[in-house]
Chains A and B, each alone.
Chain A
Amino acid sequence: MALPASQSDPSSTLQLSQKAPLLLSTATPASHFFPLTLLEKPETPATWTDYERLFQACLRAGDDKSAHLCLERLTMRFGASDSRVMGLRGMYQEAIATSTEDLERILRSYEKILRADPMNVPILKRRIAIKKSLARPQEAISALVEFLESNATDAEAWCEVADLYHSQGMNAQAIFSMEEALLIAPNAWNLHARMGELEYSSVAAGTESAQATQKLLADAVRRFSRSIELCDGYLRGYYGLKIASHRLLENLDTSTSSTLSDIPPRNVISQLHDHASKKLEHIIDTRSTQIVHSDSARAELIAAQELLDRSC
């Protein structure tokens, strides 16, 4: 079975999970004894990542029975003491937990595992996730910081902590964490755009001085430009570029204090703004005629259309 990689899109997750009973009804691997195993198709590393993906899709779609079956097979292949399988089992238990007490109990079991093996990365991450879902962002942040202390090259964790900081309104820390994530994956255009969003929203909070505001907006414009430079036709990048440059132009108009030296010249910003609007229109025109679309892509298109309508 070859499964699509996209995980963030609800409709494709649902489609995938609906196929689960069919996929799982085929003979289990490693079900025969030695001479027969030679006749079977050899397992590839992709087989087991597919199982993992199927497991997650089933959990998201609420098909706990199929998810349990996936988990059973993974456990059969790699053993219950494998750290990754432990992480998946934890994910399953969290998903079927019905009350806060259940989650607390799972959290305690994680703590027990971690006392025995302090470097069990999947369980460390599950512990953070459970704290997040128990609505204790402060604890999640401190656990993440502790985790990052010893795993400083985990871009995923840096992004997570950036999101948490952002949700707590600590924008400077969020930007710092995002920069760390970018250092690990310097060409990830979505991270560049996310960085621009963080900078833009820290301006929207409106606590900065006029000069700092200008600098942050200019940085945001640069980040969005970079993300477009890395990925042509990146709708999110153009969207951000348009609103950030618009805001910066307004800010340049109203501010009485002298402008900073490293702000790009006014005409460049206004050209960027016009260019972004034009590109957005173009993208909406071409993409809305195509039929195949996931929900999230459609939502992005609608949002962009709305932005254009508002500014015209």
Chain B
Amino acid sequence: MAVAGMEQTINRDPALFYWILFPITIVMILTGILRHYASILMSTPPKPPSTPSESRERLALLRGIHLRNHASSTLSPSSFESRRTHLVTAYKSGTFLKDGPESRGKAAPNPMTDPAAMEGMMGMMKGNMAMMIPQTLIMGWINAFFAGYVILKLPFPLTIRFKSMLQSGVMTRDLDVRWVSSLSWYFLCLFGLQPVFAFILGNDNAANQMSQQMAQMNPAANANPFGPGQDPDKMFLAEAENLEVMEHYSILDGVEERLLRSQGVVLE
């Protein structure tokens, strides 16, 4: 244990500072930037629907959701009722399904064999890999070259709990918590550089969306509401149920009085 009131001194070669602290920091920043561009390069935009029936299947669900959310602020009871009946029967009979009503009840394709679903999972994996591989490499590099170095002294005192955070790789019980080891500096950089990246690269999505922007008039239509392995038929049935239990009120009822009152006209 460090004795209170007594300053520990370790004579450090100033070269430690130039040859370890700076290289680690710079390498971390550079890999962060590299990773950012690598993930942009590797990311695949969501595939737009390739046939009209596929597009209809995707958007049919959105239509139900729109009706459920917005009907009260737009529709009169009669037009709501006719739309609801139409959508519910269509959902239940499977009219909107990509391969027609006959394809109902078939088991959902195995996501491992379905190439479209596979692509989505590959995308996720690529993202994870872009994160993991550089980290493993850099940590290996630091462990191989700088293991056990104490490279920095913090200018403020800390409690003993920080010892495991700041002195990983240095197995000294009595060392003051203020000393930081090289491996810990790596971890501090790993978690603490996010604001620096935000400063250098701008908001992450700025560069990311550029290529997708021209892809289609409304990018929202591109997104697939069905995740891999989800059965559209089941989601349609669930949506039909939601619509059936929905209670309709119209915001247009009594809008005249409401308008007059809000504009300060006294009703006679």
Contact = CB atoms under 8 A, between A and B. Distances in A.
A87 B252 CA distance: 39
Nearest to A43: B210
A124 B206 CA distance: 29
A29 B79 CA distance: 51
A110 to B, nearest CB: 16
B4 interface: no
B59 A152 contact: yes
Interface string B20-55: 000000000000000000000000000011111101
B209 to A, nearest CB: 6
Q: Give the size range of A's interface with the partner.
A: 35 or more
Nearest to A215: B76
Chain A residues touching B, majority SS: helix
A223 B55 CA distance: 32
B256 A176 contact: no
Contacts of A182: 70, 74-75
Contact of A222 (B63, B213, B217, B252): B252
B73 interface: yes
Contacts of A121: 216-217, 221
Contacts of B49: 119
B67 interface: yes
Contacts, number: 114
Contact of B52 (A78, A119, A184, A228): A119
B34 to A, nearest CB: 15
A62 interface: no
B255 interface: yes
Contacts of A168: none
Interface of A: 43-45, 48-49, 78, 82-85, 118-119, 121-122, 125, 149-154, 176, 179, 182-184, 186-187, 219, 221-223, 225-226, 228-229, 264, 267-269, 271-272, 275, 279
Given A125-B217, A179-B79, A271-B268, 12 more contacts: A49-B213, A84-B216, A85-B214, A153-B66, A186-B69, A219-B76, A221-B256, A225-B255, A225-B259, A267-B267, A268-B257, A279-B263
